[in-house]
Amino acid sequence: MTESTAARDPRRSSKRTSGSDGGSAAATSAPETPGAPAKKAAARKTPAKKAPAKKAAAKKTAAPAKKAAAKKTAAKPAKAAKTAKTAKAAKAAKAAEKVPVGSRPLPQGDGADATELVQLLTPAGERVEHPDYAVDPSPEELRALYRDMVLTRRFDAEAVTLQRQGELGLWPSLLGQEAAQVGSGRATREDDYVFPTYREHGVAWCRGVDPTLLLGMFRGVNNGGWDPNSNNFQLYTIVIGSQTLHATGYAMGVAKDGADSAVVAYFGDGASSQGDVAEAFTFAAVYYAPVVFFCQNNQWAISEPTERQTRVPLYQRAAGYGFPGVRVDGNDVLAVLAVTRKALEHARSGQGPMLIEAYTYRMGAHTTSDDPTRYRADDERAAWEAKDPILRLRTLLEREGLADEAFFAGLDEESDALAKRVRESIRTMADPDPMAMFENIYADGHSVVDEERTQYAAYQASFADPADFADEAGAAAGKGH
């Protein structure tokens, strides 16, 4: 597609420019063209007020169309022919590789190797020891971790449903990553600071951010609806990897303040390819910034497997920057808790950053717009379901008699109540005032924003009842802010 346009364009543009005067003088004399008097007169006539009825109609039709478009985003491939072509190409590529995409192991272990994967709770729910990492949670703490994961999963499932019902434009599900997020989130202290991607709903939960606040940006009422400083949980960052630098800078500030807080920068396997992540590693290393780089390797960056991002296990990258890296079973909440605690202590004690690769799996789609059946096999998911983070802790709780029927029943009720609260919050979530787009662009104001705000207010007012149209337009224009 791009090739054909590229081939066409130059011919077109050369045809167009061949008729014009061109030349370097055009650069300075471009706006010179004197307007013919007749033209000027016509221009003066056009700003006459359009009929309010026409405006209103245009406005009405625009809104639903927009919504529909948003819902469709990236959902379906455009044409059947195109699909066939892509499938064919994929088939050819597969044949060439002779190994299905995503299943070719990295040269130095594929994460299943027990020697490099910190694990304290096996998929079968057995407690195991690790020479470097230990955690000894009380039954109460174990139940609390279980509760966090169950409620996080329920909230996430509810959000997916709300997207399917058209209440959210998009939702990035964390399904399968509950242990990685709850284990690391619960390892942080209140004064620590978290820089998330856009999928850290479980970490947000642990930081005490009301889950309903996470929905606003995915409904389209804001671009991040919480005060980051109220829970030391930064706003979701959509551009991949950017936040790792913010986390590093913040951590540099923590060190300058002489505080013993630490910072956690979340990112994924896809982000590990970003230059910003490499730069964050460098800055954090050379300044000994107290930051923990927490990579959730969920195996997929939309459709691209981790093998498209790296040829070494991600945690090993840390060695090249001069700080420790460790790979932890990301579906083992106890191991993640133990490893993150240790990494945070490492950071607090002035030893600089540490990289944690939480080896996990994105059980769902990248977002609700994605269709993973196009790029990965069902049996892969089935294999990871056997390593489910919640199931293994439940097995432990039940087998050891650490939680009774009443606990599980109570948690079910709490889940239902949370889901209900989430649904209700969406239904009462108001659309923003149109004038809100002019707010908070600058802390100290900007004359262009002020001018456009005033003009748009007057324009809005022009849709009012024709009877009091003149009054309202006058009032809005006069407001001035």
213 or 335: CB nearest other proteins: 213
Q: Minimum CB separation from other proteins for residue 359, in Å?
A: 27
CA distances from 72 to 66, 76, 78, 238, 462 (A): 10, 7, 11, 19, 32
Q: From the list 51, 406, 448, 467, which residue makes contact with other proteins (rule: CB under 8 A)?
A: 448
Nearer to other proteins, 123 or 172 (CB): 172
Does residue 46 bind other proteins (CB under 8 A)? no
First to last CA, the chain: 48
The site map against other proteins for 200-239 (x = CB under 8 A) is ----------------------xxxx-xxx----xx-x-x
Pairing mode, if any, of strands 304-305 and 300-301? Answer: antiparallel
Strand 354-359 to strand 193-195: parallel, antiparallel, or no bridges (unpaired)? unpaired
CA 46 to chain centre: 45
The reply on whether position 28 binds other proteins by CB under 8 A is yes
Smallest gap, in angstroms, from Cβ of residue 265 to other proteins?
A: 9
Beta strands, E only, 154-290: 193-195, 263-268
Residue 273 in the binding site for other proteins (CB under 8 A): no
Cα distances (Å, whole numbers) of residue 127 to 120, 136, 235, 392, 399: 6, 10, 36, 10, 11
Contacts 24+ apart (CB under 8 A), 14-21: none
403 is written with which tokens? Answer: 């939680």
Classified as helix, coil or strand, 310 is coil
Contacts of 432 (CB under 8 A, 6+ apart): 221, 222
Q: What is the C-alpha separation between 232 and 263, in angstroms, rounded?
A: 9
Binding other proteins (rule: CB under 8 A), the pick from 152, 181, 242, 340 is 242
Residue 358 as a binder of other proteins (CB under 8 A): the answer is: no
Q: Which stretch binds other proteins (CB under 8 A): 33-41, 79-87, 198-206, 405-413?
A: 33-41
Minimal distance, residue 248 CB to other proteins, in Å? 5
Residue from 256, 374, 479, 481 touching other proteins (CB under 8 A): that is 256
* 252 contributes a contact to other proteins by CB under 8 A: yes
**By CB under 8 A, residue 30 contacts other proteins:** yes
Span from 89-97, 99-107, 158-166, 243-251 in contact with other proteins (CB under 8 A)? 243-251
Closest to other proteins by CB, 177 vs 248, is: 248
Task: Tell me the C-alpha distance between 284 and 347, whole Å.
Answer: 10
The residue from 21, 132, 136, 257 that contacts other proteins (CB under 8 A) is 257
Place of tokens 């990301």: 330
Residues 6+ apart with CB under 8 A from 132: 118, 342
Among 8, 13, 17, 29, binds other proteins (CB under 8 A): 29
CB neighbours (10 Å) of residue 428? 8
C-alpha distances (whole Å) from 195 to each of 135, 329, 388, 434 are 25, 21, 26, 30
Q: Which range touches other proteins (CB under 8 A), out of 54-62, 202-210, 247-255, 399-407?
A: 247-255
Piece of the chain touching other proteins by CB under 8 A; list 12-20, 158-166, 275-283, 301-309? 275-283
CA dihedral sign of residues 156, 159, 165, 168: negative
Total number of residues binding other proteins (CB under 8 A)? 52
Residues lying near other proteins in the complex (CB under 8 A): 24, 27-35, 222-225, 227-229, 234-235, 237, 239, 242, 244-254, 256-257, 275-276, 279-280, 282-283, 286, 439-444, 446-449
